[in-house]
Structure 1
Amino acid sequence: MSATVPRTPESRHVPHRAGADPAHTAFVLLRVGFTVLPIVLGLDKFTNILTTWENYLAPWAVDLLPVSAHTAMLVVGVVEVLAGVLVAIRPRIGAYVVALWLAGIVVNLLSFGYYDIALRDVGLLVGALALGLLAGAHDRPRRAG
């Protein structure tokens, strides 16, 4: 059992030792994950190494698009890369952008029967929201002085 060290206003500016603050560690893990994963998945939209991404675009969505499903997935890839970069540089904003993006993916997947993948993405959405909340507490600009 580990003891919890009370945090005083003065201790907020003391650098954290690895594992000293579980909430900060969770923030870092989520920030890295939601930076790397959207970038990797976004880049894969251009190569289709992991899967054929067009298969996950609902037929009704394809019918509404003025471009092909492949072109749509290329646009999706660019958006995902930009979302990952935004999480890296501004996690308090990027986390909510990723959460909204994931909500759209969930709706798309539910609309044509990919319930298992949609459920997984709901879990990712919850993680993105948690990152946004943690970023509010752990990504504050440091004041000089």
Structure 2
Amino acid sequence: MTQTSGTAPARTWSSPPGRAFLMLRTLFTVAPILFGLDKFAEVMVDWPIYLAPWVDDLVPGSASDAMYVVGVIEILAGLLVAVAPRIGAYVVAAWLAGIIVNLLTVPDYYDVALRDFGLLVAALALAQLAEAHRPVRR
């Protein structure tokens, strides 16, 4: 980040870190909300196929019922990133860690788990950028 006079970082959207923050904040707001909504519509994919059998055995109801709960959590996580990215980014990262554990126990979805690991790292990068872009209190 560029520096202003003194030690306070310049908070500008025209800087590379500012644009990176904006891109990641937008991604982790929009994607969880869209994926969460799709848990109800199933336009993109038949979501219950991604639920590990051991997880399905732990949760009450059907795999579809579990995906409805997942959808609500994802929508809330996206909204949290929108309003409080310093907290929301860590929530999304933790959520992605849970998804990765689930996917590593479902045969044939290791590639999706690897993709989600990349998203987890990006969410942690957002958390760091959000820390740098927090409002200055006087």
TM-score for the superposition, normalised by structure 2: 0.91
C-alpha RMSD over aligned residues: 1.9
Is 2:23 the partner of 1:49?
Answer: no
| Selected match of 2:132 from 124, 132, 137 | 137
Match of 2:115 in 1: 120
CA distance in 2, matches of 1:141, 1:43: 31
Q: Which runs of 4+ in 1 moved over 3 A?
A: 9-15
Match of 2:78 in 1: 84
Match of 2:16 in 1: 22
| Selected match of 1:104 from 95, 98, 109 | 98
2:93–2:123 Cα contact (<8 Å) kept: yes
TM-score for the superposition, normalised by structure 1: 0.87
**CA offsets 1:16-56 (integer angstroms, 9 cap, x no match):** 363xx111110110000000000000000000000000000
Could you say what secondary structure the match of 1:24 adopts? helix
> Aligned-pair distance for 1:60?
1.1
- Unmatched 5+ stretches in structure 2: none
> Aligned-pair distance for 1:66?
1.5
Give the letter aligned to residue 70 of structure 2: V
Match of 1:38 in 2: 32
CA distance in 2, matches of 1:115, 1:15: 39
CA distance in 1, matches of 2:61, 2:36: 18
Relative to structure 1, the CA distance from residue 68 to residue 9 in structure 2 (aligned partners, 3 Å threshold; closer, same or farther) is farther
> Aligned-pair distance for 1:9?
4.0
**CA offsets 1:108-144 (integer angstroms, 9 cap, x no match):** 0001221000000000000000000110001x22446
Which has more radius of gyration?
A: 1
The count of corresponding residues between Structure 1 and Structure 2 is 137
CA distance in 2, matches of 1:130, 1:6: 18
> Aligned-pair distance for 1:65?
1.4
